[in-house]
Structure 1
Amino acid sequence: MYPTQRRPAYSKAPPEGDPRRTEGWALTEAARRLSEAQRNPENADAFMDAVRRNWRLWTIFQAGVASPDSPMPPDLKANVLSLSNFIDRHTVGILADPTPQKLDILIRINREIAAGLLATPADAAPTPATPVSTPPAPSGGINQSV
């Protein structure tokens, strides 16, 4: 980015102290980078960087949820881990065959989870036990829904 160009407002990290906002921002930023990589697939380095950063983010989520200290309810924990496993498998598929269309589902998942995390409590649905649906596995894969 050139010094004269301004970064979009949504790429500015949120203030510390609100983990939900931070996670929502991180997912939104990862979706933005994936979307940009999808629009410019000829820049292979940026494409692979966006995919790897997204994978790293989901690995951080996975580690946090799997931690014995995680306060997350067991049903929600299982759903997040299942979704993380799907993202792992799908990302490996993208790394093996980097096709821009394969980013669609990662972008959509990140945006939908971010929207839930960034919703104000009045906007949020009060059903924490409602399972998160796991997207279908890519062709030839196994869907390991919990």
Structure 2
Amino acid sequence: MNTPYASQQRQALNNAPPQAAEGWALIEMARRIDEAKRAEPGSERDAQLTDLVRRNWRMWTLLQAALVDPECTVPLEIRQNLLNLSNFIDKRSVDLLAEMDAAKLDVLVNINRQIGAGLMGNPSDDPAEAARLKAEAAERQKAVPDEAEAAGAPAPSAPTTPGDATTDTEA
């Protein structure tokens, strides 16, 4: 669907830091799995769930590949924890593909939501790192044509951190 809102959302996602895009993908997959799980039981629902479990597994495989990359900047302890979680996702996915059980999907949905929410949060508590990420996002926004403005929708505002807020007395 190509509505001004959808264009604005795509533009915001294009200008988001990579971890925010990964977080959105995890949360969206959790939403899709949860929605399909609530559908009327039957072979059609099982086929849809099987497809979604495969897609979720692929997504986690891509995350695994990024985490084992020698140039990965994620701290070692977090990387190890995410890789352990990925191994669990692998095993649960294989179990579900062998025998679909909607009750076993809750753990995948919860993991995706929790990790996704963490990725979409403030990528850094370090003000210098937050400023660097904000500057990179602004540069990406300048380099990409503004689809939202072309569609007549207002452009999304740049993400702010609590330190960016100014009051009338400060300005």
Instruction: Please tell me the residue identity of whatever aligns with 2:74.
Output: M
Moved more, 14-23 or 97-106: 14-23
Greater Rg over alpha carbons, structure: 2
Q: Which amino acid aligns with 2:27?
A: T
| Cα distance in 1, alignment partners of residues 29 and 22 from structure 2 | 10
Q: Structure 2: 5+ residue runs without aligned partners?
A: 126-171
Q: What is the one-letter code of the residue matched to 2:48?
A: A
Normalising by structure 2, what TM-score?
0.61
Matches within 5 A, 1:1-146: 13=10, 14-40=13-39, 41-42=41-42, 43-120=45-122
Q: Work out the CA distance in 2 between the residues paired with 1:63 and 1:115.
A: 21
Alpha-carbon distance in 2 for matches of 1:53, 1:81: 18
Are 2:20 and 2:119, in contact at CA under 8 Å, matched by a contact in 1? yes
Distance in 2 (CA, whole Å) between partners of 1:69 and 1:17 is 21
Deviation at 1:17, TM superposition (A): 4.7
Distance 1:69 1:121 in 2: 18
In the other structure, the counterpart of 2:146 is none
When normalised by structure 1's length, the TM-score is 0.71
Q: Distance in 1 between matches of 2:87 and 2:94?
A: 11
Kept in 2: contact 1:27–1:114 (CA 8 A):
yes
- 1:33/1:50 contact within 8 Å kept: yes
Deviation at 1:121, TM superposition (A): 5.5
Residue range with higher mean Cα deviation, 49-58 or 17-26: 17-26
Cα 1:57–1:121 change in 2 (3 A) is closer
Report the identity percentage.
44
Bigger helix share: 2
